[in-house]
Amino acid sequence: MSDYILKNSRGQAVKVSGHEIVLTKNEKDVVDFIRNQAAAMSKNDLGIDNVVTILTAIAKEVSSQKFYSIENLSDYIPFDIGTGTWMQSIGTFRSFEFGQKFEDGNVGLSVADGKISSIDAGVDLIQQPIQNWAKKISYSLFALKQTSVTNVFDYVSSLERARKRNWDLGLQSIVFLGGRNGKGLINSQGPTVDATTISKPFSSMTAAELNAFVSTVASVWYANCYASAKPNRFVIPLSDFSGLSAFTDPNFPLTTKFKALDDAFKAQFGSDFKILPSAYNDKDRNGLGGNKNRYVLYNSDIETIKFSVPLQYNALQLSTLNGFSYESCAVGQYATGTTLIRPQEVLYFDCAA
């Protein structure tokens, strides 16, 4: 009877209300089967050791894990590639002009009117730390040979793709959210935060509410930057962007909400204006707290905002010391956050989700 007592991984009897759990033979057989399967899976770290029959056909395609990725990240922000390779930080100078009013330069023929006014300029420096990055992949001769037997799964290529994807998705996240020592596009501390202009998601606005937003957003922008620049990007939460394909007026389905907004922005700010989606702007990912989505209106110009990659992803040569264990390292360098040079040309709008 003792063989049928349920035991934990330490071999101790499992008790409920002080009583041991006694299994029937069939129940014990099921428990043993599950434990044996779990043990086999723990040894099958490559995932290639699976039980099949002669009637099992193996598909040639391998379904890969998928992640949220932005295809053209350079549409969102300018990239500075190659500047500062092997350095520890990148410095960007900003120039400022100091002078009297234009008409203070007026001069006349009299001594009193002959005094010449002056103008001066100064600079300051924004420094962005550079982070060194390196990751390796390693495998044994057994792993290489056993996975190659399937003629389906290329183990080495899968490792390399995983490492490169880790680099790409890591940079993507830092562009928007920043890293350990920097801020990103949506959470920098310099820009103004407007919490009133967007009262609800665009996807739930009526045609009248969309018109009200379009009629006021330009004046809000120009007041923030003293009319010194025009925006050319509007990054909005993916959850809101996904609903913009709806018509502005369901009773008169002539145009979608996206086209109405896009046409209005292009008319006001230029034909290169783009409305772009980002899941990082949604409340669940932006890390801002307060159950709010963030909308970012800005001038995507390298003198206004940029992300620096001093050293692009570089996979070094595969090496082995004994012909059995193989190792490859990839290196890169990136800025710890998005460099915001002209914060007045970036405007945040917060909206309750």
For residue range 51-76, list pLDDT tens digits in order: 656 555 566 666 677 888 999 999 99
Q: Is the same domain home to 10 and 90?
A: no
Q: Is the same domain home to 109 and 153?
A: yes
> Which token pair is 317?
């040569």
> How many Å apart are CA 118 and CA 133, to the nearest integer?
49
Q: Is the same domain home to 176 and 229?
A: yes
Is 335 part of a structural domain of the chain? yes
- Of 177-186, 242-251, 293-302, the least confident: 242-251
For residue range 66-107, list pLDDT tens digits in order: 888 999 999 999 999 999 999 999 998 887 776 677 777 777
pLDDT of residue 28: 76
The band of 130, judged by pLDDT with boundaries at 50, 70 and 90, is: very high
Helix (H) or strand (E) holding 311: strand 311-315
Is 65 part of a structural domain of the chain? no
pLDDT of residue 58: 60
The arithmetic mean of pLDDT across residues 118-123, rounded, is 75
pLDDT of residue 176: 97
Helix (H) or strand (E) holding 41: helix 25-43
Give percent above pLDDT 70 in the chain: 85
Domain count, the chain: 2
The separation between CA 80 and the C-alpha centre of its own chain, rounded to angstroms, equals: 17
| Residues found in the chain | 353
Model confidence at 218: pLDDT above 90: yes
Q: What is the mean pLDDT of the chain?
A: 86
Which domain, by its residues, includes 225?
A: 70-353
**Of residues 197, 201, 224, 189, the one with CA closest to residue 338:** 189
Is 198 part of a structural domain of the chain? yes
The maximal CA–CA distance of the chain, rounded, in angstroms, is 121
Model confidence at 296: pLDDT above 70: yes
Per DSSP bridges, beta strands 274-278 and 192-194 are unpaired
pLDDT of residue 1: 47
Q: Is the same domain home to 180 and 292?
A: yes
Give φ, ψ of 218 to 5 degrees. Answer: -65, -45
Q: Is the same domain home to 112 and 218?
A: yes
pLDDT of residue 66: 81
Q: Cβ-count burial of 171 within 10 angstroms (0-12 exposed, 13-18 middle, 19+ buried)?
A: buried
Other C-beta atoms lying within 10 Å of the C-beta of residue 230: 16
DSSP annotation string for 66-134: -----S-GGGTS-EEESTTTT-SEEEEEEEEEEE--GGGG---SSTGGGPPP-EEEEEEEEEEEEEEEE
The arithmetic mean of pLDDT across residues 33-53, rounded, is 59
User: 3-class DSSP state for residue 140?
Assistant: strand
Is 59 part of a structural domain of the chain? no
Model confidence at 250: pLDDT above 80: no
Q: Is the same domain home to 123 and 38?
A: no
Is 56 part of a structural domain of the chain? no
Is 177 part of a structural domain of the chain? yes
pLDDT of residue 51: 62
**Stronger pLDDT, 106 or 139, i.e. the higher one:** 139
**Stronger pLDDT, 322 or 12, i.e. the higher one:** 322
Is 54 part of a structural domain of the chain? no
For residue range 162-192, list pLDDT tens digits in order: 999 999 999 999 999 999 889 999 999 999 9
The arithmetic mean of pLDDT across residues 289-315, rounded, is 95
**Stronger pLDDT, 268 or 38, i.e. the higher one:** 268
Other C-beta atoms lying within 10 Å of the C-beta of residue 214: 16
Q: Is the same domain home to 38 and 80?
A: no
Q: Is the same domain home to 22 and 98?
A: no
**Stronger pLDDT, 91 or 38, i.e. the higher one:** 91
The band of 3, judged by pLDDT with boundaries at 50, 70 and 90, is: low
DSSP annotation string for 206-228: -HHHHHHHHHHHHHHHHHHHTT-
Q: Is the same domain home to 84 and 37?
A: no
What's 334's domain CATH number? 3.30.2400.10
Q: Is the same domain home to 133 and 11?
A: no
**Stronger pLDDT, 35 or 101, i.e. the higher one:** 101
**Of residues 202, 262, 196, the one with CA closest to residue 232:** 262
Q: Is the same domain home to 281 and 133?
A: yes
Model confidence at 8: pLDDT above 80: no
Is 279 part of a structural domain of the chain? yes
The band of 290, judged by pLDDT with boundaries at 50, 70 and 90, is: confident
Q: Is the same domain home to 11 and 98?
A: no
**Of residues 253, 257, 169, the one with CA closest to residue 211:** 257
The arithmetic mean of pLDDT across residues 138-158, rounded, is 80
> How many Å apart are CA 231 and CA 266, to the nearest integer?
10
pTM: 0.78
The arithmetic mean of pLDDT across residues 254-273, rounded, is 95
